[in-house]
Amino acid sequence: MDRRLALVRRPSPRLADGLVTHIGRSAVDVDLALEQWEGYVAALNAAGWETVEVPPADDHPDGVFLEDPVFVYGDLAVLTRSGAPERRGETAGLREVLEEHGYRVEEVTEPATLDGGDVLKFDGTVWVGQGGRTNAEGLAQLTELLRPFDVEVVGVPLASVLHLKSAVTALPDGTIIGYPPVVDAPLTWGESFEAVPEETGSHVVLLGGDTVLMASSAPQTEEELRGRGLDVVTVDISEFEKLEGCVTCLSVRLRG
């Protein structure tokens, strides 16, 4: 069995100051958030993933959302350039970790902006959200970096959510799931799209085989996914959801 690694980053003591764009601000319990993060890491470990803690980013409230500053495909790791200037320092320390694990590292450069949370990949297709955090030049640069992999890169317009993966993710069989009120471009997905009854049910992490990780805040979706024969692991990430975070945001899965 291949070694499965997941990069994670410990929450900043300033987590409560994280950015919010499409929801109202709620008080964040930083101590509870740390407990929830530890539970998330434990869930990855229990599913057979070895977690690697990258250098902390204590001056960056959103640094725990590690999916945004880096995107990986094959042996390539792309350090992004966030559309939120406050978040651009979150890439610090990542190059060394990625190179240590055998990745060749490229960087998105000005005037491009790209957040990893805007990038959904599955079976030779890479969809890239085009909205507040990722611009057309970001899409163009990522397309060029992925050219050696012979993948199809598709831009997807966004308006209702922070990131593309806030609206849709893929199940192990390639079905794209999403909560219709926040899916801005339903025709992008065609017949592969299936609606879920809760917004936080749109977010799943593929853990291998038929196992998926999702938030405990979407019990109806959990029941539906179990009905499809999936092995569903749930975690409570309520404090991160207050900052528009989801289960995909909190790790970067590697296969080494």
Residue 131: exposed, middle, or buried by beta-carbon count in 10 A (0-12, 13-18, 19+)?
buried
Cα separation, 179 vs 218, whole angstroms: 11
Q: Backbone dihedral region of 194: left (phi > 0), alpha (psi from -120 to 50 degrees) or beta? A: beta
Catalytic annotation on 246? Answer: no
Cα separation, 204 vs 188, whole angstroms: 19
Q: How many residues are listed for the chain in this entry?
A: 256
230, 196 Cβ separation under 8 angstroms:
no
Query: Residues 60, 163, 203, 246: which is the catalytic one?
Result: 163
Catalytic annotation on 163? Answer: yes
Write the DSSP assignment of 136-171 as a string of letters: HHHHHHHHHHHGGGT-EEEEEE-SSSSSGGGTEEE-
Q: How far is CA 175 from the centre of its chain?
A: 17
Query: Residues 60, 203, 246, 249: which is the catalytic one?
Result: 249
Q: Which residues contact 143 (CB under 8 A, 6 or more apart)?
A: 153
Q: Which residues are catalytic?
A: 163, 249
